[in-house]
Amino acid sequence: MWGYKAWVGELFPPRTPASEFLRLYSRRFLTVEGNTTFYSLPSPETIARWAQETPETFRFCPKVSREISHAPRLDTQKHATSIFVERMRGLGTRLGPIFLQLPPTFTPAHLPQLQAFLDNWPRDVRLAVEIRHADFFQATHEEALNNLLKTYNVARVMMDIRPLQTGSASEQRELLAQERKPGLPLHKTTTTDFTFLRYIGHPRKEVNEPFLHEWAKQLGQWHKQEQTLYVFCHCPNEEHSPEICVEFYQQLRKQIPLPPLAWQLAKADRSIEQPRLF
């Protein structure tokens, strides 16, 4: 998401109206996971407004509509997929990889449906696929999935929920219940020239630190292999998501020559100057 009321006063200036959330978010971060498109198809006017409000360097990564991804048969959604993709093309240069989140009921037996879907997918639009059935993490089925994605130059979405599985048993139960993410293992893998990582962070900074350090080293290696990195940070307590993003970025800067976040520098400057006002 790019708008959350609790971010006002921290990520956004005090009294920021909701109408300004996207414009300000896009000047603090470089991409967003577009979850809203999963629930309904935005109008062409809305898509045009999103493009107008964001810098040319910003990237939207929309989630494929659930009417497509969760249909009884994925391979029968050719027309609906065409409409969805054409609508997303309205973002122009701001369109990043689209991602297809398959339901837990999509098993290795349904892999031919995914192949038919990918065969229909336009080659000039990047795609990432997230699978949620445990059998895909078994060696034989995983190899078949990864080979299929490599054939079509499609990324495999990695989702890291390990931070939520850290801490006391009661804390783990509470966070996992809030998040409602499947308890699947993490397999670090790349199947094309970009990486798509969904990091589900813990509300406590000290829990995230070792995981972010580990990811920064791994992403640094992939970056050296000319991978483009798409990283999304989320937390069951959403107010912590921006700070997790910032900390992740700082860890990455130790591995990759990235510029500092300009808005973080400005925030630091204000905190230094603040005592002079009194």
pLDDT value for 176: 77
**Mean per-residue pLDDT for 62-87?**
97
User: To the nearest whole percent, how much of the chain has pLDDT over 90?
Assistant: 83
- Average pLDDT score over the chain: 92
**Mean per-residue pLDDT for 84-110?**
97
Whether 9 has a pLDDT exceeding 70, the answer reads yes
The answer to pTM > 0.85 is: yes
pLDDT tens digits, one per residue of 103-118:
999 999 999 999 999 9
pLDDT value for 251: 95
**Mean per-residue pLDDT for 195-204?**
95
More confident residue, 36 or 172: 36
Q: Where are the domains of the chain?
A: 1-156, 157-256
Whether 276 has a pLDDT exceeding 50, the answer reads no
Beta carbons within 8 Å of 136's beta carbon, 6+ residues apart: 108, 142, 145
pLDDT value for 240: 94
Calculated CA dihedral for residues 91, 92, 94, 95, nearest 10 degrees? 70
C-alpha closest to that of 121 among 91, 88, 146, 147: 88
pLDDT value for 96: 98
pLDDT value for 267: 63
**Mean per-residue pLDDT for 239-260?**
93
pLDDT value for 265: 59
* CATH, domain 1-156, list 3.90.79.10, 3.20.20.410, 3.30.70.20, 3.40.50.300: 3.20.20.410
**Mean per-residue pLDDT for 82-103?**
98
pLDDT tens digits, one per residue of 227-246:
999 999 999 889 999 999 99
Whether 148 has a pLDDT exceeding 80, the answer reads yes
Whether 50 has a pLDDT exceeding 90, the answer reads yes
Whether 32 has a pLDDT exceeding 90, the answer reads yes
pLDDT value for 274: 43
**Mean per-residue pLDDT for 46-72?**
97
d(CA 41, CA 64): 9
